[in-house]
Amino acid sequence: MKKILVLHSGGMDSTTCLYQAHALGHEVVSLGIDYGQSLSVEMLFASQQCLKKGIDRQVATVRWANAPYRAQRLSTMKAPPA
């Protein structure tokens, strides 16, 4: 049995990877990244899924130096002025 770290946002793709590793009998750790995203429902979903399956869930918090960009979704972020 391998110990596997899954970068787990709570979305469909990372949750599928998490479940697959767990189903194969590996020791799985779910890692979430809290970067101040506005779509925190996926983080909640990830935590609930880990509780349901008995999977260790860890969350790393990232604080951006450029505060105006901190709470925006990455897909909508604009490059800072040059």
Task: Please give the Cα distance from 16 to 38 (Å, whole number).
Answer: 23
Domain coordinates of the chain in residue numbers? 3-64
pTM over 0.95: no
Measured over the CA atoms of residue 32, residue 38, residue 42 and residue 45, the dihedral's sign is: positive
Secondary structure in 3-state letters for 29-71: EEEEEECCCCCCHHHHHHHHHHHHHCCEEEEEECCCCCHHHCC
Assigned CATH class of 3-64: alpha beta
Q: Per-residue confidence of the chain (82 residues) as pLDDT tens digits?
A: 899 999 999 999 999 999 999 999 999 999 999 887 776 788 999 999 999 999 999 999 988 776 555 455 555 545 555 4
Task: Please give the Cα distance from 26 to 18 (Å, whole number).
Answer: 10
- Beta-bridged to residue 3, according to DSSP, are 27
